[in-house]
Structure 1
Amino acid sequence: MVGNDYYEYEWDNNYCYPNCFILKNKLNIKDSDLLEEAERQITAIRILEMKMHPIKGNLDFQHLLNIHKHIFKEIYTWAGKTRTVNISKGNQFCNYIFIKEAAGEIFLKLQKENYLMGLTKDKIIIRLAFYLGELNASHPFREGNGRAQRVFIEYLAQTAGYYMSSIFENVPKYLKH
């Protein structure tokens, strides 16, 4: 069943085991449910580590690549590398050929906005949402985009003097989910 909640992939043997859509992984897991559970557990630990010991970087594309690599390095050989296949989820994400160019534009704009420093709480929420949307549209990785993007956005907010929990503390409950 393919719908808006499922990814559609251009077939690529470089990423998947033969005759299926299970991603080749360092754990050699060939069951999608088991891989999903292992990935969930391992990435949760990696993300927690990054909250305690942030990945240093310049809030640029390389920083995002390094975040992704740290989260997924125990699972995928391509952790921290841009995808080499087109993917979609309802709509197609950025063509893989243009990912670096699109990322360059996103991060140049972020730099011109001084990494959102000095913005009010109301304005930073809008700009963080904008950049999260732009990063998501580029979808630079074969898997794990959302997790890497959320960590990056959290680092961006912290650099601007905000913590994600404080940004949303007075937001109505129905908007938090």
Structure 2
Amino acid sequence: MQNKPTAANALTAEQRQQLEADYTFKRVVELELDPVRGNFDAAHLKEVNRRIFQDLPGAGFDDVTPGEFRKPVADGLDWMKQRGLSTVDGPFYVAYSRMDGAATARLDKALEAANPDELRGLKTPEFTARLAKIYTELDYVHPFSDGNSRTLRTFTKQLAKDAGYEVDWERFGRSDVGRDLLYIARDRSVNELAKPHVQHENTMRKILHTQDRLEGNRALPDLLRDAARPSRAVAFEQMSEREALKEHPELQEAYKTMHTAAAYFASKMPGKPEAQEAGIQSVMSHVQTRLNAGETADFSRGREQEKQQKQEQPERQTLQQQQRPEPGPERER
């Protein structure tokens, strides 16, 4: 039998943060295995938040209200947070909605686009653009007093999966640069939505200064293209042909291309298994690239575009390494 957890208010700030992380991480993993069943509406979003943070009130986090929207901000005031980044010096600021009637209406409107049936079948660039817009709108509203980032990542990951896509949000948490690039991409977009609704000139001054400092960094739709792939593309990469076709019959054309390639290289390079394998791997790489982009046919097309992308990739990676986001007091996990 486990001992009752120490009350959070008796812990140091660091211990409190670790205790919260332990509880919520377990719940996020549970949601990966058993997602909330819902319609991707406000009630669905609230239930995701409730399930992630359900243990905290009983552990002494008296200020946490799982599944409840935060109270509106008083007239004339703004809901602003100071952001601290690990790879850039100085504070950044991001402003969110006042969570008033207009904000809740905006939330409902944004969630109308969270429809898996409408997102299913989109090519990867369009899908990531749509998902980024949904995420940014929800992030700007920032409906919960705490835990919005974890809630939105879980919510959008499930939305993507139901629409036939896999989103690897975790990739951005594997390094300080990755985390900061994600914060920058999100905060840039959110501040643009916030500007017309800012109440106080001091808030406006801070977010405009932040926007100036963040200019030139990657936007969220572009960043998401590194993390989102069609589920069928993941299956082609990770499963056997039989298993992949069972889950994704639309991969038939991809495997037909691979079989044709194998037969071609066998006839053109008899007795040269290594050369045959190299040729097959080249075709497989091309097919995988097309699948990642959301294509399911015409795999003979796009070779020149693929070569161009490969040439640009090292430059892009260098730019990513050079883009250094910034530190500040509060960071949502």
TM-score (norm 2): 0.41
- Give the structure 1 partner of residue 126 of structure 2: 123
1:115–1:156 CA contact under 8 A, matched in 2: no
2:109 to 82, 105, 108: 105
Is it true that 1:29 corresponds to 2:21 in the alignment? Answer: no
- Give the structure 2 partner of residue 80 of structure 1: 67
Task: Give SS of 2:9's match.
Answer: coil
1:133 to 131, 136, 142: 136
* CA apart distance, 1:114: 4.4
1:61-112 per-position Cα deviation (integer Å, ceiling 9, x unaligned): 111100000000111451010001543122431112234222111112434x
Q: Tell me the amino acid that sits aligned with residue 29 of structure 1.
A: N
Paired with 2:26 and 2:113, the residues of 1 have a C-alpha distance of 32
Paired with 2:118 and 2:137, the residues of 1 have a C-alpha distance of 15
Paired with 2:155 and 2:40, the residues of 1 have a C-alpha distance of 8
* CA apart distance, 1:27: 3.8
Counting matched residue pairs gives 150
Paired with 2:111 and 2:162, the residues of 1 have a C-alpha distance of 15
- Give the structure 2 partner of residue 53 of structure 1: 34
- Give the structure 2 partner of residue 69 of structure 1: 50
Paired with 2:15 and 2:49, the residues of 1 have a C-alpha distance of 21
Percent identity of paired positions between Structure 1 and Structure 2: 24
- Give the structure 1 partner of residue 185 of structure 2: none
* CA apart distance, 1:34: 1.8
Higher share in helix: 2
Q: Tell me the amino acid that sits aligned with residue 68 of structure 2.
A: K
What is the RMSD computed on CA atoms of the aligned residues? 2.7
Structure of higher CA gyration radius = 2
Q: Tell me the amino acid that sits aligned with residue 65 of structure 1.
A: K
- When structure 1 is superposed on structure 2, of 136-145 and 35-44 the one drifting more is 35-44
Moved over 3 A (4+): 168-175
Q: Tell me the amino acid that sits aligned with residue 92 of structure 1.
A: A
Paired with 1:152 and 1:62, the residues of 2 have a C-alpha distance of 12
Cα distance change, pair 75–156 in 1 and its aligned pair in 2 (3 A): same
1:27–1:75 CA contact under 8 A, matched in 2: no
Paired with 2:32 and 2:136, the residues of 1 have a C-alpha distance of 22
- When structure 1 is superposed on structure 2, of 27-36 and 97-106 the one drifting more is 27-36
Query: What stretches of structure 1 of length at least 5 have no aligned partner?
Result: 1-25
TM-score (norm 1): 0.73
Paired with 2:167 and 2:94, the residues of 1 have a C-alpha distance of 28
